[in-house]
Amino acid sequence: MSIDQKTVARIASLARLKIPADEQAQVAGELSKILDWMEQLNEVDVTGIEPLTGGNDLPLRWRDDVVTDGGKVRDILANAPAKTADFFTVPKVIE
């Protein structure tokens, strides 16, 4: 399939791209090469091959939805500027 400069200008307009006139011939050649390569895919024999809907048809394993503290209370509080027991201490902001 061959694409001419007029088609490139139309595609650029639809895609809101600014392709200078002196570069349109080069872009037309590149797009034509891409479409030629895609035409080669039509030559592949795909009889008997089911189309893919995704990369993996296996169901996902779900983990138990259990609420925990993460087991890292001491590690987290080590970064706190001030703490009381197992909690962050912050200055009072509302009178």
Q: What is the pLDDT of residues 40-87, one digit of tens each?
A: 988 999 899 888 777 677 788 888 888 887 888 888 888 888 989 888
Query: Where on the phi/psi map is residue 71: left (φ > 0), alpha (ψ -120 to 50), or beta?
Result: left
Identify the CATH assignment for 5-43 out of 1.10.20, 1.20.120, 2.60.40, 1.10.10: 1.10.20
Closest by Cα among 19, 20, 33, 24 to 6: 24
pLDDT value at residue 54: 72
pLDDT value at residue 66: 87
Q: Please, which pLDDT band fits residue 23 given cuts at 50, 70 and 90? A: very high
* Claim: this prediction has a pTM higher than 0.85: no
